[in-house]
Amino acid sequence: MRLLPVETLEKLYGSRYAVVVLTAKRAMRIREGSEPLVETEARNPLTIALLELAAGKIHPEEPSAEQPAEEEPEPTEEDGEEGSLHATMMPSPGAHPAGRASVQPSGADAGGRWGLVAAQLLMVVLRFFHIVSGALWVGSAFLFVGFIGPSAAEVGPSAGPLMSVAVKKRKVAKIITWLGMITVTAGWILWIKNLRDYGGLGRLLSSGFGLGISIGGVLATITFFVGYLGVGRNVERLVELGDEIAAGGSPPTKEQAERMATLGADLERYGKLDLVLLILAITAMSTARYW
Question: What pLDDT, in 10s, does the model give residues 27-68?
Answer: 888 877 777 887 776 777 778 887 887 777 776 654 444 444
Distance from C-alpha of 199 to C-alpha of 202, rounded to nearest angstrom: 8
Point out which residues pair with 63 in neighbouring strands.
Answer: 83
Please, which residues have CB within 8 angstroms of residue 238's CB and are 6 or more apart in sequence?
163, 260, 263, 264, 267
Pairwise CA distance, residues 21 & 182, whole Å: 34
**Burial class (CB within 10 angstroms; exposed 0-12, middle 13-18, buried 19+) of 118:** exposed
> What are the structural domains, with CATH classification, of the chain?
6-104 (3.90.940), 113-290 (no CATH)
d(CA 20, CA 10): 10
Bridge partners of residue 58, in order along the sequence: 91
DSSP state of 170: S
Residues 6+ apart with CB under 8 A from 137: 176, 179, 180, 182, 183
Residue 243, CB-side half-sphere exposure with 13 Å CA sphere: 14
Phi and psi of 253, rounded to 5°?
A: -70, 175
Instruction: Dump strand ranges (E) for the chain.
Output: 58-60, 62-63, 82-83, 89-91
Give the pairing of strands 62-63 and 89-91: unpaired
Q: What is the largest CA-CA distance in the chain?
A: 101
With a cut of 50, list the residues of the chain below it in pLDDT: 62-73, 75-109
Question: Are the C-beta atoms of residues 188 and 172 closer than 8 Å to each other?
Answer: no
What's the pLDDT at 92?
45
Q: How far apart are CA 268 and CA 146, in angstroms?
A: 9
User: What is the model's pLDDT at position 214?
Assistant: 93
Among the residues of 144-232, which ranges form H helices?
Answer: 149-155, 160-164, 172-198, 201-206, 208-225
Whole-angstrom distance, CA of residue 218 vs CA of residue 195: 15
So what's the pLDDT on residue 71?
47
How many Cβ atoms sit within 10 Å of the Cβ of residue 23?
22
pLDDT at 88: 40
Distances (CA, A) of 97 to 175, 240, 250: 56, 72, 87
Strands 62-63 and 58-60: unpaired
